[in-house]
Amino acid sequence: MNIDQLLLKIYTFILNPFIAVLFVVATVYFLIGLIRYFLPQGSDSDRQTGQRHMVWGLVGMFIMITVFGIMKLIVNTFGVNLSDFGATLPSNY
């Protein structure tokens, strides 16, 4: 196994699923904040908590999108052609 194959396996089986799970967690956190913010019986402290959840959920989603972009930049910079190693890529990659 050479370094390209090792990087591909790390990228495919560790980083991508981990980042996807974190993106889902950030989205759920945002949605919980949205629900807490708009509940009619919520107090002002509940609205502030909901607002903080929404902000941090958006920050988390932004970070995950940025990490995907950085990983794509690294893969393209080092000239790793992922399809050479049997990886199936979306058509827009």
Going 80 to 91 to 57 to 12, the CA torsion angle's sign is: negative
State residue 70's pLDDT score: 86
Indicate the domain borders of the chain. Answer: 21-76
Going 31 to 32 to 36 to 39, the CA torsion angle's sign is: positive
The reply to whether the predicted model has a pTM over 0.75 is no
State residue 72's pLDDT score: 80
| Mean pLDDT per 10-residue interval, the chain, length 93 residues | 77 82 90 86 82 92 86 79 59 52
Cα separation, 22 vs 9, whole angstroms: 19
State residue 85's pLDDT score: 56
Cα separation, 71 vs 11, whole angstroms: 8
State residue 30's pLDDT score: 93
State residue 83's pLDDT score: 63
